[in-house]
A = this chain, B = another copy of it.
Amino acid sequence: MPLDQLVQNLESALSKVPLIDPHSHIDPLKPVSKSLDDILGYHYYTELAHSAGMPQTLLAPEADPRDRVREIVKFMDRYDNTAQYAWFIDIAHTFLGLPESETRVSAGDADKLFDAALKTFAQPDWESQVFEKTRLEKIFLTNEFDDPLTGFDTAKYVPCLRTDTLVFHFDKPETRRRLEATTGIDVHDAASLRRALVRVFLRFTQNGAKACAISLPPTFHPAPFDDEHFYEQMQFHGYHDLASGIFWLIAELCRDFRLPFDLMIGVNRKVYPKGVYQGQDLFDQRTSLIQYRDLFNAFPEVTFPVSVLTSLQNQELMAYSWIFPNVLPNGHWWYSNTPPFIRKDLTERITAVPKTKLIGYYSDAYKLEFVKPKYGMYRRILAGVLADEFVRPGTLSETDAVALGTRLLRDNVREVFKV
């Protein structure tokens, strides 16, 4: 019983659009996987296997990668219903030679796949093969403020200044030491902080950075701090409680340097501290974009592509994007990056927010091999939404629907981030 022809047509047309992926965690010096352990070590798989009962023993760095892969694959028959498992099957089909006719992977396949991956990933042109099979044109990075931005092609790997550490860990001496090391400035008051941040922004924009980004807890309220407050906290209170004010300074620099500021709103870190690596964060649904009211009003010149962790905040995101010219809905993040949430959130946005403001998707990938299955999932849902909301009701022709989809997939990324 095949999916209907209209959805297939739309999906097929959309799959030809070259991708500019506006958010990932790719290391540009090691962008592709070296072994299946790089694929299955992705936190989605370790989380699900652990959640389904896998002990963490083999997740230790010193464990044998092949054993770890066997273990994660062994538990797949407990989580083979998930979207994440479907990404892996897509990877196995596209990159590891699993025949299209085989739609399952089970314990017995681990070694075969491990070997196939080793061989495949060792090809000298593997990186460019992945780019080609993915129709990937550019992909944004997530760079720490002191990351080196050289040694890679910034036309392909677009730097993006991630500011979580500066904002939320400025009370740690290590953060200030790193900031001094990269800028030459010892921060002891608002003025020196501003100077140091300017140097960071200068270096990033000179090296092709196209965005600034941060992830924020559900309780966060941005607020401007006056210089006296910075001084007092820095001199007498161990640099504590400066997050709101540092964030505000960074917004000022986004304005001055004309960088969009990606806000990723809603994550509580280390809710399950004994969870697997990167599988410890959850959230509190009780949060509101009203917390960003002052920010959005104070910076009309700054574009804020906003991601929300929960689908519950999607109506706020839709409404704030409908009203504020500088607020844009950005992709489908993490716990909202599964088909039911994408379908719901996309449908709500695409029927109410100006189409030129909709940034459809980003992969959030750690390795390039994940861009294809994640965008594949998104395109299938996008095709379905375009069919149901626009083509079937007679509002758009198939051609126009593909153009609308292309806008979400690519055009808006180019325009918003000026790439």
Q: Which residues of A line the B interface, CB within 8 A?
A: 1-3, 6, 47-48, 50-53, 78-84, 86, 103, 268, 271-275, 279-290, 293, 296-297, 300, 310-313, 315-316, 318-325, 335-336, 338-341, 344, 347-348, 350-357, 380, 389-396, 404
B268 touches A285 (CB 8 A): no
Residues from chain B with Cβ under 8 Å of A319 in the complex: 282-283, 335
Considering only CB atoms, which chain B residue lies closest to A289 in the complex? B282
B338/A352 in contact, CB under 8 A: yes
A398 CB → nearest B CB, Å = 9
Closest B residue, CB atoms, query A322: B51
> With the chains together, A49 CA to B404 CA distance in Å?
18
CA distance A322 to B339 in the complex (A): 15
* Tally of this chain's copies: 3
Closest residue on chain B to residue A75 by CB atoms:
B354
Tell me if B355 and A80 are in contact (CB < 8 A): yes
Q: Is the CB of A51 within 8 A of B357?
A: yes
A351 touches B344 (CB 8 A): no
Q: In the complex the two chains form, is A352's CB within 8 Å of B51's CB? A: no
11 interchain pairs, CB-CB under 8 A: A3-B394, A52-B325, A52-B354, A79-B354, A82-B352, A86-B395, A281-B323, A282-B319, A282-B323, A283-B290, A338-B348
- Residues on B with C-beta less than 8 A from A315 are 285, 310-312, 335-336, 341
A6 to B392, CA, bound (A): 14
A325–B340 Cα distance when bound, in Å, is: 22
Alpha-carbon separation in the docked complex, A411 to B72 (Å):
22
Which residue of B290, B351, B394 contacts A284 across the interface (Cβ within 8 Å)? Answer: B290
- C-alpha spacing A286/B179, complex, angstroms: 38
Using Cβ atoms and an 8 Å threshold, which residues of chain B touch A2?
A: 392, 394
Contacts of A325 in B (CB 8 A): 50-53
The distance in angstroms between the C-alpha atoms of A323 and B47, with both chains bound, is: 6
Among B50, B290, B336, B352, the residue within 8 A (CB) of A83 is B352
**B283-A286 in contact (CB<8A):** no
The 7 A-B pairs at the shortest CB distance, nearest first, are namely: A52-B354, A79-B354, A81-B355, A284-B290, A284-B288, A78-B356, A319-B335
Given A53-B325, A272-B297, 15 extra CB contacts under 8 A: A1-B6, A2-B392, A47-B322, A51-B354, A79-B356, A81-B355, A81-B390, A272-B323, A275-B323, A279-B323, A280-B323, A283-B319, A286-B286, A286-B288, A340-B348
